Structure 1
Amino acid sequence: MLTYPNIDPIAISIGPLKVHWYGLMYLIGFVAVWVLGKKRAEKPWSPIKPEAIEDLVTYGALGVILGGRIGYVLFYNFGEFLNNPLVLFKIWQGGMSFHGGMLGVFIAMWLFGRKQHCTMLQLTDIIAPLAPIGLGAGRIGNFINSELWGRTTDVPWAMVFPNGGPLPRHPSQLYEAFLEGVVLFAILWIYTSKPRPTMAATGLAVMLYGCFRFFVEFFRMPDAHIGYLALDWVTMGQILSTPMIIIGALMFYFAHRKVHATVS
């Protein structure tokens, strides 16, 4: 069994000002999109110019934060929302959903695309290979916060989390950081290093994230107030990831099929 490092969730404290590691992880993700997005926007096939990346990051950040919060409340805490709609604004209590954040980004890119005279999918194709950095960093933030830990296990790398009870658990946040962050970034960055059909990068990112998340859910504890939804193993994360796998695969297939049909 490994020892949990027990890092202070507060990275910087100056008087009443406290900066949490989790917030810094979001910042890392946004900065990565800005820096690498400018690099990609210099490519001749980019639908936008490098100077438009700042606005793209702003729209994307709003989509992630608003969509993530709304998605968490609707997907994971809907009962409490019905009893008290104001829970939506209690962001200090925590709670963000990737699936909600993803939908928020799609809406934000649709709005930004209208401004830039390009399509939503052209913009999400730019974001797709960059987003995994933020996803991976966010999972590291979950690990530091000792939240979203895994199921109990006896594997040699299990850890006892401070607020996860006395039993050793899978460090499932690190599994997600590796798959959703490192692996997903490597695949998408290499794949998009040359021109690809519109929608292909978005489809591949959606499909692979869905596959990785579905897999890690076998090791991650479901939210206590939801539990398993079926068969004593199906989680809300898996239910939300299943349509991602299907839709992403269809997007990727039709993007390439359209190109082949045009060439033929």
Structure 2
Amino acid sequence: MLMHPQFDPVAIRIGPLAVHWYGLMYLAGFAMFVWLGRRRLRHEPYRTLGWQPRDVEDILFWGVLGVILGGRLGYVLFYKPLTYLAEPWRVFAVWEGGMSFHGGLLGVLLAMAWWARRQQRPWLQVMDFVAPCVPVGLALGRIGNFINGELWGRPAPPDLPWAMVFPAAGPLPRHPSQLYQFALEGLLLFVLLWAFARRPRRVGEVSAAFLTGYGVMRFAAEYFREPDAHLGLLSLGLSMGQWLSLPMVVAGVALWLWARRTPVAL
């Protein structure tokens, strides 16, 4: 049985300025998106369609806005609607924490739809470009969760070699679910998706693979992650994260079937 190292959440202190590890993970995720996006420009069809490095930077800017706004609103609507309905001004209290991946995904979809229309490019072509560059950022985010000792797992058997005690969660050994999600939704999804996207694919196939892959992996990881204390397990013994992942899987399968009907692979 292991003990969580209890990292200092502040990575760097310069006078009154405190830079948190979680913020550094976000910055590292943005940097990796730019690096991977520029490599993605070498893949078809982007290499022959005139995509430029500045497109990667534009997508990152609007994507970050989508993540922040969508992630915050998603948390408010999916996880604590009654709390924020009673105190709506707290929606803007982002320093209190509270972000939702699924809300952030919806925010990115809308932001990319706006950018695609502005650039007169097919929306699914843009999403196919973005999808393989995302999992590394998700992996870094889970490392930030682990450093902060938050979003810990459910109680684990004491003889599980990697079971870990998170002091903030009490004395019980738990699954380090942040690391499970780091490995599944982050590294494994990235490797599979990047390898898949390197070859020409029909429009929508890469996006479909991301939706299905993330949805399945998140659904599985949630069995080891402690449900939100104020929600617990919902209908059929599933967590909110699992219920929100199911539409992703359905949408991914539907998009895949639609994309496979396209006669010509780009």
TM bin (shorter chain): over 0.9
Asked if structure 2 preserves the Cα contact closer than 8 Å seen for 1:160 and 1:169, the reply is yes
Post-superposition Cα deviations, 1:180-226, rounded to whole Å, max 9, x if no partner, equal 11000000100011111111111110111000111011111111011
Match of 1:247 in 2: 251
1:1-264 alignment to 2 at 5 Å? 1-46=1-46, 47=49, 48-154=51-157, 155-231=160-236, 233-259=237-263
Larger RCO: 1 or 2 (CA < 8 Å, sep 6+): 2
Superposed displacement of residue 2, structure 1: 1.8
Superposed displacement of residue 41, structure 1: 1.8
Gaps of 5+ in 2: none
RMSD between superposed Cα atoms in Å:
1.3
Residue identity opposite 1:173 in structure 2? Q
Q: What TM-score do you get using the length of structure 1 for normalisation?
A: 0.95
Residue identity opposite 1:28 in structure 2? A
Residue identity opposite 1:109 in structure 2? M
How many Å separate the matches in 2 of 1:44 and 1:222?
41
Gaps of 5+ in 1: none
How many Å separate the matches in 2 of 1:100 and 1:178?
22
- Residue 258 of structure 1 aligns to a residue whose secondary structure is coil
Residue identity opposite 2:197 in structure 1? T
Q: What TM-score do you get using the length of structure 2 for normalisation?
A: 0.94
Residue identity opposite 1:246 in structure 2? V
Superposed displacement of residue 44, structure 1: 4.9
* Paired positions, count: 260
- Residue 128 of structure 1 aligns to a residue whose secondary structure is helix
Residue identity opposite 1:253 in structure 2? L
Asked if structure 2 preserves the Cα contact closer than 8 Å seen for 1:113 and 1:120, the reply is yes
After superposing on structure 2, the runs of 4+ consecutive aligned residues of structure 1 that deviate more than 3 Å are: none
Q: Which moved more, 1:130-139 or 1:40-49?
A: 40-49
